[in-house]
Amino acid sequence: MDAYLVPLGGGALIGASAALLLLANGRIAGISGIVGGLLGPAGRDSVWRAAFLVGLLLGPVLFRLAAGHWPEVRIEAALPAIAVAGLLVGYGTRLGSGCTSGHGVCGLARLSPRSAAAVATFMATAIVTVFLVRHGVAR
């Protein structure tokens, strides 16, 4: 049963944080936009952006306190593959004007057609990528 509660709780917290940010600040909880705003000139938006990111980083610590163990993380790819994947995700984020959290969580909830197209594109790309990697085509 615990195997279902942890992801359910995580999803509920993601949704709650996105809703709270929208209600409290009128801002979309798109991580790429939040980080991008921190990398630009410092302004009045820097405080909430930094607080949001600190909250993300504290998530595993709070999990440890609540569950008594660290969340299990398994990465089966080599470091160069992870670096290339990260660069491609960053490029796609800029190209699509948003990321999975901005388009997938917030955009779809707002019934945004642009977000629906973005989510369909990155999901299709992810499905094809996993298929190619799992079947040895892209190794």
Give the tens place of pLDDT for each residue, 32-82: 888 888 887 776 678 888 998 998 899 889 889 988 999 888 888 889 989
Instruction: Return d(Cα 26, Cα 105) in angstroms, integer.
Output: 15
pLDDT tops 80 at residue 138: no
Domain residue limits, the chain: 1-73, 76-139
Distances 127 to 3, 42, 53, 123, 131 between C-alpha atoms, Å:
24, 38, 28, 6, 6
Instruction: Copy the structure tokens of residue 89.
Output: 């995700």
Burial class of 93 by CB neighbour count within 10 A (0 to 12, 13 to 18, 19+): buried
Q: Full-prediction pTM beyond 0.85?
A: no
**Structure confidence at residue 64 (pLDDT):** 92
**Structure confidence at residue 127 (pLDDT):** 93
